[in-house]
Structure 1
Amino acid sequence: MTRLAYIIRPSTPPTRIIPLARAVESAGIDELWFWEDCFQTGGIATASAVLSATDRLRVGIGVLPTPLRNVALTAMEIATVDGMFPGRLVPGIGHGVQPWMAQVGAKAASPLTLMREYSTALRALLAGERVTTSGRYVSLDDVALDWPPARPVAIPVAATGPRSLRLAGEAGDGVVLEGSVGLPRLPAALARVAEGKAAAGRDGVDLPVIQFVSGGTGPTAVARLRAEFTAMDMGADVADDAGLAAYAVWGDAQALADGVRRYGEAGVDTVALQPTEDDPDLEQLISVVGAAQELLGAS
C-alpha cells in the first residue's frame, strides 16, 4: 500500500507547528514531512520538537541542504535525534536552492560532487565507521561518532535533474521528488534513478520513492492549486482540470485516496501531501487526509 503523509510547510509560523503535528497524529496519519527553505523554520529543530510532542509519528525532513552544514554536525544531530526517538526520523538531504546557497556564501561550484562526497561520508559516520577522507568539499580526519545509531538510518536524497536522479540511485537510501515532477515526469525520473542503481551495482537494493504532491479540499481548492502552479510557471500544464490532476489531488477523502493510488501504481511508495500556501483551514485538510489514509488501509 502506498503510504500517505502530510507536509507542514516551512512558512508555517513556529507557534503553529506543534498543534498541527498533534492534529496529524490524532487524524491517524502515520508520517509527517517538513522541508527547509531559507530563511524559515529549521528541519532538525522542527523534527525534534514534533517527535517530542507526539507518540508515534514518523517525521521526514525533505530535505536538509548539504551546503549549509558540515557533514560531521549533520551526522551528530541525526544520531542524537534517532537515539532519543529510534526509527522515527527520516532525514533527507539535497543540494539546496542555489540562489539561497549563494546568498549565505555556501554555494558549491559542483553540487553533484558535494552530494556524492557528503552522502558517502554521512552514511559511513551513521554506520559507526571511523572516517578519514579528503575530497573537494568534505574533509574528515579520523572522525567517528561516540553515539552512532543502534540501527541503520535511511538517508534519502532529493533530486530533480537527470544527473541528480542518477546520483540518488547511486548513493541514496531513497529519493525525494518535488511536486513539479507530478505523474507526467515520474516515469523518466524513476528511470534515471534505476540507471544510477545499476551503475553502482545496487539493482537489488530497495530505494523508497517519496513524492511531494500538492493537495487541497473545499470549494476553493482547485483555484488555489492552479494559482500556485501558475506562480511556478506551470500554468500551461494545469490549464484545465485534467492537467491539474496530473500534478495535484483535491476533493473529499475518497478523491484524495484515488489520487494517491494513481501515484502508487506509477511507482511511488510515499505520497506526502503538500497544502497550498494559502490553505484557509489546515485542520480540515488534515482531517480529510486522515480519512483518506483510512480508505487506503481498508482497500
Structure 2
Amino acid sequence: MGDRNASPSAFGWDFQANAAILLMIENIKQAEKIRVEGADEDIEITLLNKEKIYAQVKAVERPENYTHVIDKLTAALETLNLAAKNGDGKLFTYVTNSPNPFNNQKIMHYFTGNTHLDFDELPSQAQKRVLDLLKEKNYDDLDVNKMDIRVIPFYGRDLKNRYKEILSSIDNLLADASIDVVGVNREILRIWQRDFFQNATIPDTEISITKEKMMWPLIVLVVDRVAANDYKKDFDDDEVDEIENNYKMVINQQTLLYEFVTKVICDFIQAKLSVKKFINANWENYVETISMVKADDHTRKILIKIILHRILTQRNNISNLKKEIGL
C-alpha cells in the first residue's frame, strides 16, 4: 500500500494555518489583525498598538526525525532577524511541531506536549545554540529577549489527533467566555482553516484577517446553536421552521453584522423592556435591514423577529465573547 500522507509542502501549509489560528486566539485581546504568509514572516499579527508579533513556522512530517531541525531553526532565525530590522516587532516566535527542536536528547523533556517558553526559560544548552547561531550567521538585529519558542504537537493522518491542540485552544477561549456549546469548536475550526488557507494564497500581503472578521462567525455559531424559540408562540411552528430554513443565510448574515448587533443591544438596554415586549414594540424599526429580501410583509415580520430574538436572547453569550476577545 502506498503512502497516503499529504505531500510535505501540503503538510507544512496545514501546520502553518493551524498555528496561525492558535497564535491569534492566544493573543486575541491585544490583536487587531493577522496575515498568513505576510510580507516578512509566515505569520504576522498586528496588535492594537501597531506593534507586531512575527512568527516563523517550520513543520516536520515525522516527529521522530530530528535530521533537519537545526537547519529549520537556522532558517527561522534568518527571517526573524530580517523582520527585526522593521523596528515594530514586539515578539519573535519560532513555531515547530518537533518535540526535539534543538536536536538534543538531554533537553527534550522541556518540549513535551504543547510548549511555550520565552528565551530566558529555555534550558542553557538551547539558549547557547540560539546565541551561537546568531553569532555565526551575523544576525545582529534579533533581540533574544523578545523571542520565544513554541512547540505544537501536530502529526498523524487522523485529523482529530492532528488538530487536537488547536481544538483545545478554541475550547479554552469558549470556557473563558463561559460558553458551553457542543460541536461549535470543530465547526468554527473548519471555517477558520478555510479562511486562513485562503488568506495565505492572496498575493497582496496587505490583505489581512481582522479580529472582527475572524470572531463574528464564532458568535453566529454560538447564537445559532442555542437560540431559544419563544417567538414560535406567536406564530405557527411549521411556518417559523420554513422561514428559518429558507432564510438561514439572511439570519446568519444579520447576526454577523457587528454594527447591527450592537445597535439592537444598545436599543434594548435603553428601552428597559423584556425581550418579547421590546421585539413586539420595535420590530418595524429594523425591517429596513432586510429590505433586500424578496418576501411578503408577513414573512418579513417573522424574519426580523427571529433575527432580533436570536440577538437578544443570546446577548450574554455575545457580550461574554466580545469581552473575552476584546471587541
Query: Which TM class, normalised by the smaller chain length?
Result: 0.3 to 0.5
Give the TM-score of the pair, scaled to structure 2. Answer: 0.31
Normalized per residue, the structure richer in helix is 2
Q: Tell me which structure has the larger Cα radius of gyration.
A: 2
Normalized per residue, the structure richer in strand is 1
